[in-house]
Amino acid sequence: MTAHPRLAATVAAALITGASLQQLATARPRDYDDAAATLALHDRARYTDGCAAYPVPPWAGVFLRAAACFARLVSGEDQELLATPGNRALLLRVAETARLRPPQPPASRRQGPADHVEWDWRERQEANRYEAMLAVRARPSRR
């Protein structure tokens, strides 16, 4: 798959959480609790799924521990634990090599050929829901 601890941990975290890359990028080393086997992801603006703690199975803990050690070595607790949106191309290449693919849109809503993988379909759905929510909040109330 990959030798880079941050990319490997991101793939593992995506598999166990189903979170978007945007939300995965919020994790810091302190958000992975090895003793409790949990990973916390943040979303204070509630753009995607809100803040949540996810259980980490033993197989994924190996990758998250390696990423936490790597991040602490690089620059401490405030360093990203997982890949950032800037690492998207590398992450997609790792996922494709491992033949891991996110949920796909129904056939009637696909934007390309049947075998084309739409990597950002879920993120686009989340963004559209968020934009609709903001539009409703921005409307002046009638009294």
Q: How far apart are CA 12 and CA 14, in angstroms?
A: 5
Using the predicted structure, report yes or no on whether residue 24 has a pLDDT greater than 70: yes
Q: Are the C-beta atoms of 95 and 11 separated by less than 8 Å?
A: yes
Between 50 and 54, where is the model more confident?
A: 54
pLDDT tops 60 at residue 47: no
C-alpha closest to that of 122 among 10, 47, 13, 44: 47
Kind plus residue range of the DSSP H or E element containing 52: strand 52-55
Q: For the segment 81-116, what is each residue's pLDDT rounded down to a tens digit?
A: 998 878 888 888 888 888 777 767 777 777 777 777
User: What integer best gives the mean pLDDT of the chain?
Assistant: 81
- For 89-112, give one letter per residue: b (16+ CB within 10 A) or e: eebeebbeeeeeeeeeeeeeeeee
Displacement of CA 53 from its chain's centroid (Å): 13
Beta bridge partners of 95: none
pLDDT at 18: 81
